[in-house]
Amino acid sequence: MGSPDPLLNPAIIGGGYAGMAAAVSLSARGIPITVFESAQQLGGRARGVFYNETQLDNGQHLLLGCYRKTLRLIEQVGGNIEQDFLRLPLQLDLHGQFSLKAPRLPSPLHLLIALLTAQGLTWSERMKAARFMLALRGMNFRLPNDITVTELLAQHGQDADLTLKLWEPLCIAALNSPIHKASAQVLLNVLRDALNQSRADSDMLLPRIDFTALFPQRAANYVEQHGGKVHISCGVDAVVPKDGEIKLVTAVGIHTFSHVICAAPPTVAAKLLRPIVALAEAVAQIDSLEHQPIYTVYLQYPPTVRLPHPMLGLHQRYSQWLFDKGQIAGQHGLLAAVISAEGIHQDLSQEQLAQKVIAELREEFGIAEKPEWFKVIAEKRATFCCSPKLHRPSQQTPLPRLLIAGDYTAGDYPATLEGAVMSGVKCADMIGATA
């Protein structure tokens, strides 16, 4: 690689996973980069939250072994995957109702055995699930036309019980969208990458440190060591392309850059880009996205309280997934209940929702103790709703020096860390190619 063009001085709006992935990729090429982040800390929708002297996250995040770009970048900025995560082989456990665990065998044998030995399904349901997976492999995980997950399951004879115990929890966890709205093709993209190649691709990685520390903060240190700057509590108020350059209006003045990557969340990106006439189509695409919530209920119980597994689901309850932070991160007695996608839980107050979760923990596991405190974090616009045939904006815009990154931009993946990181790396590659 030759020396980069000295006139290149790109800026990034937003220090979430997409923005910081772009920042690291450009810094690694020797291109000095400036990041503007409006919040007091980096991470965006995957950030650490400090509450009651306890380190939490804004929500429980799970990575899959196939999230190669994210895992590689975490290592590039100094992380150690085996120390930073608890690695579990693929397993789905809906307490007392259903359980599936992949044996340590090569893919796809591990999945077929997991399906054929799943507890809580009839033999006929297991066969239907295994046949469905074989059919998807036979189709190379590609559909001729995108349809909803509900439609795909019906086409392949997956009955109601199988859907409720296996496919619906899997789809909501992967796409954060209800099955009647979710894109079957995007679900298949995730299944293709997680289940079809190496067995380790389907491993589930549960973070032991918070999501700001895991990557964005390390990425900021990396950027600064490579001559770049990361400004926090410094939001961008306007983006003004002029004379082949781009001006950013921020709280601390107006700065001029050769390129800008807008890696703000979709609603902010639409607001910043709306005045730029050439970007009308991208803005219309962003405006058309529907959003889905994720609620997380943290409960601090006495340290002796623990769940049967570090992560497990509940069948037909408010709490979809439960995480035992004691077993994952040594935070004994701290449990987190996750409720993804839209639903009746949104009609409850935070106090009512926490009481429902407490009652479920008592009924399912006999946890009679009262939590010392609880904290509900409601991310109302956690992700875009991943429906079929969405027109997601491209990273490239009609203005060659203005790019868009973020989990909602064009790509194979639903709104995930990997999707965000891939979009950031793609923008960096495009700028890097001009250097």
Report the interface residues with ligand FAD, using CB under 6 A.
Answer: 13-19, 36-39, 44-46, 58-59, 61-62, 235-236, 263-265, 268, 294, 296, 379, 382-383, 406-407, 415-418, 420
Residue type, 298: Y
**Nearer to ligand FAD by C-beta: 228 or 406?**
406
Smaller CB separation from ligand FAD, 132 or 215: 215
Q: In what order do the strands lie in the sheet with 334-340?
A: 98-101, 91-94, 311-313, 321-324, 334-340, 291-300, 373-384
CB count within 10 Å of CB 156 equals 15
Please, which residue, 37 or 203, has the CB nearer to ligand FAD? Answer: 37
The neighbouring-strand residues paired with 207 are: 85
Least distance from C-beta 364 to ligand FAD, angstroms? 22
Q: Which of 268, 427 has the CB closer to ligand FAD?
A: 268
State whether residue 338 is helix, strand or coil.
strand
How far is it, in rounded angstroms, from Cα 32 to Cα 43?
A: 21
Q: How far is the CB of 160 from ligand FAD (least distance, A)?
A: 26
Nearer to ligand FAD among residue 307 and residue 421 (C-beta): 421
In the bound state with ligand FAD, the residue whose beta carbon lies nearer, of 121 and 299, is 299
Evaluate the CA torsion angle 256, 262, 263, 268 in order and state its sign. Answer: positive
Smallest distance, ligand FAD to C-beta of residue 178, A: 16
- CB burial string 120-140: b at 16+ within 10 A, e below: bbeeebbebbbebbeebbeee
Q: Which is nearer to ligand FAD, 31 or 336 (by Cβ)?
A: 336
Burial group, residue 215, by CB count within 10 angstroms (0-12, 13-18, 19+): buried
CB 386 within 8 A of CB 379: no
What value, to the nearest 5°, has the Cα angle with vertex 395 and ends 210 and 252? 65
Residue for token pair 């880009």:
273
Q: Which residue has the tokens 């491993």?
A: 203
Q: Closest Cα partner for 389 from 143, 72, 123? A: 143
Q: Give the residue ranges of DSSP H helices in 252-384.
A: 266-273, 280-287, 325-329, 350-365
Work out how close the CB of 396 gets to ligand FAD at its nearest, in angstroms, rounded to a whole number: 17
Q: Which helix (H) or strand (E) holds 42?
A: none
- The C-alpha angle 347, 353, 356, rounded to 5 degrees, equals 120
- State the minimum distance, in angstroms, from the CB of residue 132 to ligand FAD: 24
Q: Which is nearer to ligand FAD, 217 or 296 (CB)?
A: 296
Q: Which residue, 57 or 125, has its beta carbon nearer to ligand FAD?
A: 57
- Least Å from the CB of residue 174 to ligand FAD: 9
